[in-house]
């Protein structure tokens, strides 16, 4: 990876990996307007409640909250407006087929800048049940204890 490919994360959806089983993920561009990019660079974004849907052969990101930029000259915009994601047609068809299955949804995992372009990591995910969440937590805790024990032995 070149220096120009450096990724600078703006926001991550940590809750997503706990609440959902991630099946696969991909990178998509974000269609933004005016001062939204500057607001993103400042980190004024909330992706925890957002999700994506495939409508009319387009992928639309909903409930992504980008706070208005204070120094913007144009009047304020709707911070929760639906935003189009930039993907190839074949990727959109693949996502549509995967989300048609029962229980699968599109969720954002992270928003970041690559080569000064706003990108979003989008995942096809299946919801976890409460007992699945507990089991995942106990497995992670057991793995952490094993690593600590191995570290002490060395």
Distance CA 149, CA 133 (A): 25
Distance CA 46, CA 134 (A): 26
| Sequential DSSP letters for 15-71 | HHHHHEEEEEEEEEEE---TTHHHHHHTT-EE-TT-EEEEETTEEEEES-EEPPPTT
What are the phi and psi torsion angles at 26 (to 5°)? -150, 165
| Of the candidates 19, 24, 6, 29, the residue with the CA atom closest to the CA atom of residue 118 | 29
pLDDT, position 3: 54
Predicted confidence (pLDDT) per residue in 1-37, tens digit: 455 578 999 999 988 888 888 999 999 999 998 889 9
71 vs 114, which has greater pLDDT? 114
Provide the pLDDT confidence category of residue 96 given band limits of 50, 70 and 90: very high
Q: Which residues pair with 125 in a beta bridge?
A: 22, 105
pLDDT, position 130: 74
Q: At 151, which helix (H) or strand (E)?
A: helix 130-153
pLDDT, position 123: 94
Task: Characterise 65 by phi-psi region: left (phi > 0), alpha (psi -120 to 50), beta (else).
Answer: beta
pTM: 0.79
pLDDT, position 4: 56
Distance CA 88, CA 108 (A): 17
- Confidence check: pLDDT of 39 > 60: yes
Provide the pLDDT confidence category of residue 103 given band limits of 50, 70 and 90: confident
Predicted confidence (pLDDT) per residue in 123-141, tens digit: 999 887 777 778 878 888 8
Q: Which domains does the chain have, with CATH numbers?
A: 3-128 (2.40.280.10)
Mean pLDDT of the chain: 88
Distance CA 6, CA 151 (A): 32
């Amino acid at each position: 990876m070149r220096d120009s490919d450096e990724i600078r994360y703006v926001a991550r959806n940590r809750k997503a990996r706990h609440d959902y089983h991630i099946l696969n993920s991909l990178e998509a561009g974000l269609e933004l307007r005016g001062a939204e990019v500057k607001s993103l660079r400042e980190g004024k974004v909330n992706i925890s409640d957002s999700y994506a849907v495939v409508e009319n052969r387009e992928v639309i990101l909903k409930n992504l909250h980008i706070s208005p930029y204070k120094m913007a000259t144009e009047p304020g915009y709707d911070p929760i407006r639906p935003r189009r994601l930039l993907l190839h047609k074949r990727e959109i068809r693949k996502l549509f087929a995967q989300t048609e299955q029962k229980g699968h949804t599109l969720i954002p995992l992270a928003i970041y800048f690559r080569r000064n372009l706003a990108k979003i990591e989008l995942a096809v995910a299946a919801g976890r049940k409460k007992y699945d969440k507990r089991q995942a937590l106990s497995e992670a805790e057991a793995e952490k204890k094993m690593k600590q024990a191995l570290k002490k032995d060395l």
